Structure 1
Amino acid sequence: MLDHDFKTLNAFIQTARHGSFTAAAQALELTPAAVSKSVGQLEQSLNVRLFSRTTRSLSLTAEGDYFLNRAETALALLQQAAEHIGGSEAQYAGSVRLSVSNVIGRNLVLPCLKTLQQRYPQLDIELDFEDKIIDFVKDGFDLVIRGGHIPDSSMISRELAPLHLCLTAGPDYLAQYGIPRRVEDLPQHRMIIRRFANCKYSPWYFRQDGALLPFEAARRALTFSDPEACALAAADGCGIAEIPVYLALPYLQTDRLKILLGDCHHAGDYRLVLQYAHRNLPPRVRVVAEHLFAHLSQHAGLHTAPQALAAFAA
């Protein structure tokens, strides 16, 4: 009974989080039809519509929104109670090795480790902060978090969140050099550029006349391999930088950065994913994966839409 209740509630919660049966099915490793059926059974048992459905969209009803807030808490409590009564806490002991890039590890993973330790004190979490491509078997990792354009592989990938980009500069820089109002104004400005490990530079993209066009700076004032360094340099007034929204948001909220060309700058189609080698994860690894997924799928910096940044425009 409990197992069925867990699955039904989880199907509803994941559908609400992801906004579609297909994305929820991917996260749960089920078929969209199975997720849709579970949500339908829940609606039938509650005798209320939780989602408004059209051929193109899926959105929570007022009743669904009310139920979601309480269902998430209820599911977590049910899981904890079942684990405690079943004596299953012993399963959540041992080492879990996680590979994550430096900037993502520092800014997104480290902040959620305290609650993970509190819930599973017998776990030994080992984080390897590396940007290199790893071999799961050879290097002995249980989980990997990566961001960017993730190539197809034999690994199982669960999308945690989109990785939106924004174009920014500090108020001091803009006061000295002026605010670019068009893409054509950018060559007169100082650029802070990111260079990847393969020595390629990251171009900026803009929407112009219905097309997506790259812009590559001819004049590079500063070049970094670390996006966090780009954010710090922009906030210090060194130039214009393209950085992930989750890095920019704290600076935007304290007026240390401003958004530029938000009406035409392309936020990118990068993704943050959690990868592992096999579907049948050991309990000690599964609880870490689910904790990371729950934390990062609700992270404000990852789920701030580019349109919402207009309030921070220069």
Structure 2
Amino acid sequence: MRSMDHLEPETAAMLELPTDERVMLCKTDRWVGYTRATQIMNRLDQLLVYPKSLRMPSVLIVGRSGNGKSSIVERFCSRYPVQMTATGNAISPVLQISMPETPSESEFWSEILWAMGISHGDKDSILLKKKQAKSILIQVGIRVLVIDEFNNLTTAGKGAGDLLAAIKGISNVLKISIIAAGTQAAINALNLEPQMKSRFDPAALDRWKLNVEYLRFLTSYQRLLPLAEPSDLASRELAPIIYSMAGETIGSTVNLLKAAASHALLSGKERIDRDVLKDVVWTAQDEWDDIARRV
């Protein structure tokens, strides 16, 4: 009987499924709690139990595009869903929104209202939206406001100061913590308001290197791919190839492994090997400059 020690038990059970279903499972997002992600997650959890104080702590998750910021945010928020009390009232400790692409204070309050399912008019005054937003946040017991794509704040122009003031105000008045996530530009956004910046504790997602942590990630992710044979992704043969193709971000590595596992199954293989990586349709990050020169 073939050993399935290279797979998680729930993944091994998927091997009984048809090939097309296993291909879809290969493309499904999976959570791998690598060291840095776990460290940041623990810091975020602490915000929920922090006592209400004059100056609530906040965290800025910052890193390159595709390096896991949104995955951490989604994982954190999914652990604290809306719950109903015995009297039918909704309790929600965490609210997630995204900074609008063209941010303004009015749009900010609208994002909160829409996220809470509150219908309102786009042309309603800022004061009205602000009053509604604060009221519903108090009502449902929000303790942490999560703002993804925080780097969009740099496109707010002269309105950035007002928007940062609104975020600071909501933290001060409601005694809630802020989790912001964005690219390096998010740091520039906070530089616009030094007092606001001082409230944030940075949580950096460094660029990945071909080191022990990267090899551990490959080993962990392999256990989630429904392939009947071990791929040995962390081997001296395959790890450098994967790293050279995917570059320094975890998102690119995951996308490559999804594509490689799917290609392996569709070509009749049950493992990712050198030939699969060679044949998979893939554009490495450093190839984009070459493409730009050719077109």
Q: What's the TM-score, normalizing by structure 1?
A: 0.25
TM-score (normalizing by structure 2): 0.26
